[in-house]
């Protein structure tokens, strides 16, 4: 059944729209004649105009001209069989996929008016006479407004919602209201069928044991799947702002499972979500109680002199700082360092950096800087705003307006299973990374009682970036080769922050780029790079084995007398909910 707009006389409706356009153009011309060159003033520097009046006038005149032309074309199309060429949708925009947005003049008018207004707002921001960072912030907040005001987000202006309500006799709206009430109780948007997954049942299923725990981490040792293993073990440091099982999503989709199958002796840190009794923990505590403690235990259990160490995202930043602390203490405990989508230089942080400024950090420091918790759902919402159409509004429409049940998708389940952070740790991190970019400066920060200099870490380095990463821009990750480690190898994966990393070879999906000539300019590096189909995992596996010290018989038990098995993997910490 086709959706229809409210009952109106169609021809009179469009004629009125055309007259309104003509009137608006005349009123705008009158305003131009009366104006005395007044623009939008800069509140900081009153003598400077952020948006000069002439620029505003040109944009407004162009907007009304195009809007009038579009209304006229809609009229011709509706009653004279003509066609119109409106504003094109951005690639991948699925909000207006329903045929009604193209075939019915009422909805076509709504869509095109919205797209034209959106384009004008973007142009308005682009012409603002402000510094680059302020312009990026303006673009970000303009996009949030534009995304929120889409006619597809409202029941009265979404043809799919209206049609579904008619076909179900309003049951879809009733179900949507139930979904909304449930989410109000949760304090977050439900984006996945949460009943379809359970950590330890079909997520985080690689066999292993927790062989150590403190108030911040559990250390998991995985059961070898080969008769012999690499003598040099592997310690994995996941991000502390997410649950670790992104790296162990399930059989056939797990980096942990893959590493074990290739004969690596794998250990992994499972971070605990902050609770009131851990709300006092600082950045230094995360280093000492996390990777620094874990490295010692891994070496004690395996008897190895050094261990490979891998860090993902914030886990890579934590691991790099821990490696610099080891270097300052003159402790040679690392064989290699692998950084997956990790930032060490925060000069270009992408859009997430636009949300962190002096005022926001100072406010957090005043409220939770000496103790307290940053709730996981706040972090999850912040990341969601970076791709609001895909991660927020899509689910608002499907769940609340259509009453649909979310799909079962492991990555979305993981993404919704957020982790809370201690206030002191979070405040130190944001000030010394996104705000002041101190970590990359030799000796600028003191961590665990020693001045930190990343360049003192002299171990082979493997850096993986994702080309479409909206959290860690790949060119920022590329710069890590100049800050830490030696004999660097850089690999660029296709796709984004998560999909670029989680790419099992057996699926033969996506691609990656290789180039041994690590020139200073990342654009030149990419121009000269060779694209390889499939996963980057085998390249990383071969690289690590080149820096290992041979093979030995696989252990038959997890832990040792000092560190006996506490409980089976995945352990208690990863199952605790912060939401």
3-state secondary structure of 7: coil
Of 367, 370, 374, 361, the closest CA to residue 422 belongs to 374
Q: How far apart are CA 272 and CA 399, in angstroms?
A: 31
Of 311, 359, 353, the closest CA to residue 484 belongs to 311
What values do phi and psi take at 236, rounded to 5? -105, 130
* End-to-end CA, the chain: 40
Cα–Cα distance list, 123 to 49, 139, 494 (Å): 16, 10, 30
Catalytic site includes residue 313: yes
Q: How far apart are CA 1 and CA 335, in angstroms?
A: 65
Mutual angle of helices 132-148 and 105-126, in 10-degree steps: 170
Strands 460-466 and 486-493: parallel
CB count, 10 Å around CB of 377?
17
Where do runs of H (alpha helix) occur along 35-131? 53-80, 100-103, 105-126
Q: How far apart are CA 382 and CA 375, in angstroms?
A: 11
What values do phi and psi take at 374, rounded to 5? -95, 110
DSSP letter string, 490-547: EEEESS-TTTTT---GGG--SEEEE-S---S-HHHHHHHPEEEES-SHHHHHHHHHHT
Q: Which of 240, 313, 427, 448 is catalytic?
A: 313
Question: DSSP letter at 94?
Answer: -
Q: How far apart are CA 151 and CA 107, in angstroms?
A: 9
Exposure letters 486-522 (e unless 16+ CB within 10 A, then b): eebbbbbbbbbbbbbbbbbeeeeebbbbebeeeeeeb
Q: Where are the beta strands (DSSP E) in 228-354?
A: 228-230, 234-237, 266-271, 307-312, 334-340
Cβ-contact 231, 304 below 8 angstroms: yes
Where do runs of H (alpha helix) occur along 398-459? 410-416, 423-430
Cβ-contact 67, 21 below 8 angstroms: yes
What values do phi and psi take at 84, rounded to 5? -130, 155
Show which residues are catalytic: 313
């Amino acid at each position: 059944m086709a959706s229809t707009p409210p009952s109106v006389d169609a021809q009179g409706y469009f004629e009125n729209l055309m007259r309104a356009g003509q009137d608006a153009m005349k009123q705008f011309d009158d305003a131009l004649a009366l104006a005395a060159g007044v623009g939008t003033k800069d509140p900081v520097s009153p003598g400077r105009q952020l948006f000069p009046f002439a620029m505003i006038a040109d944009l407004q005149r162009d907007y009304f001209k195009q809007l009038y032309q579009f209304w006229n074309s809609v009229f011709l199309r509706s009653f004279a069989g003509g066609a119109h060429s409106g504003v094109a949708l951005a690639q991948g925009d699925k909000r207006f996929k329903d045929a009604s947005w193209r075939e019915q003049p009422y909805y076509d008018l709504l869509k095109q008016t919205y797209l034209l207004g959106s384009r004008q707002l973007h142009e308005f921001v682009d012409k603002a006479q402000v510094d680059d960072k302020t312009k990026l912030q303006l673009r970000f907040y303009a996009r949030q407004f534009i995304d929120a005001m889409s006619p597809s987000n409202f029941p009265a202006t979404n043809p799919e919602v209206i049609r579904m309500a008619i076909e179900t006799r309003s049951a879809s709206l009733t179900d949507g209201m139930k979904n909304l009430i449930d989410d109000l109780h949760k304090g977050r948007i439900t984006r996945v069928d949460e009943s379809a997954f359970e950590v330890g049942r079909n997520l985080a299923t690689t066999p292993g044991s927790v062989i150590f725990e403190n108030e911040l981490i559990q250390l998991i040792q995985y059961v070898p799947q080969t008769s012999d293993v690499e003598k040099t073990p592997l310690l994995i440091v996941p991000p502390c702002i997410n649950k670790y099982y992104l790296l162990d999503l399930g059989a056939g989709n797990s980096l942990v499972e893959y590493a074990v199958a290739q004969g690596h002796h794998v250990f992994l840190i499972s971070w605990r979500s902050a609770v009131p009794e851990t709300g006092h923990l600082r950045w230094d505590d995360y280093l000492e109680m996390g990777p620094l403690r874990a490295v010692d235990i891994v070496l004690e259990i395996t008897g190895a002199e050094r261990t490979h160490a891998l860090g993902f995202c914030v886990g890579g930043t934590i691991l790099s700082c821990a490696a610099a602390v080891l270097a300052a203490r003159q402790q040679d405990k690392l064989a290699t360092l692998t950084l997956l989508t990790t930032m060490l230089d925060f000069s270009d942080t992408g859009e997430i950096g636009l949300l962190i400024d002096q005022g926001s950090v100072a406010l957090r420091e005043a409220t939770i800087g000496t103790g307290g918790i940053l709730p996981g759902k706040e972090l999850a919402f912040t990341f969601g705003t970076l791709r609001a159409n895909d991660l927020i509004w899509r689910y608002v429409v499907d769940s609340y307006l259509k009453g649909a049940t979310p799909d079962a998708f492991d990555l979305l389940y993981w993404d919704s299973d957020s982790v809370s952070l201690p206030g002191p740790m979070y405040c130190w991190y944001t000030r010394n990374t996104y705000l002041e970019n101190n970590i990359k400066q030799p000796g600028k920060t003191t961590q665990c009682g020693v001045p930190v200099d990343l360049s003192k870490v002299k171990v082979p380095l493997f850096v993986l970036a994702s080309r479409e990463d909206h959290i860690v821009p790949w060119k920022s990750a590329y710069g890590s080769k100049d800050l830490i480690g030696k004999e660097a190898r850089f690999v660029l994966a296709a796709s984004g922050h998560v999909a670029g990393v989680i790419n099992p070879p057996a699926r033969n999906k996506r691609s990656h780029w290789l180039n041994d000539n690590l020139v200073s300019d990342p654009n030149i590096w990419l121009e000269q790079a060779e694209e390889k189909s499939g996963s980057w995992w085998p390249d990383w596996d071969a690289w690590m084995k080149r820096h290992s010290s041979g093979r030995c018989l696989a252990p038959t038990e997890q832990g040792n007398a000092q560190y006996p098995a506490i409980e089976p993997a995945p352990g208690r910490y990863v199952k605790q909910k912060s939401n």
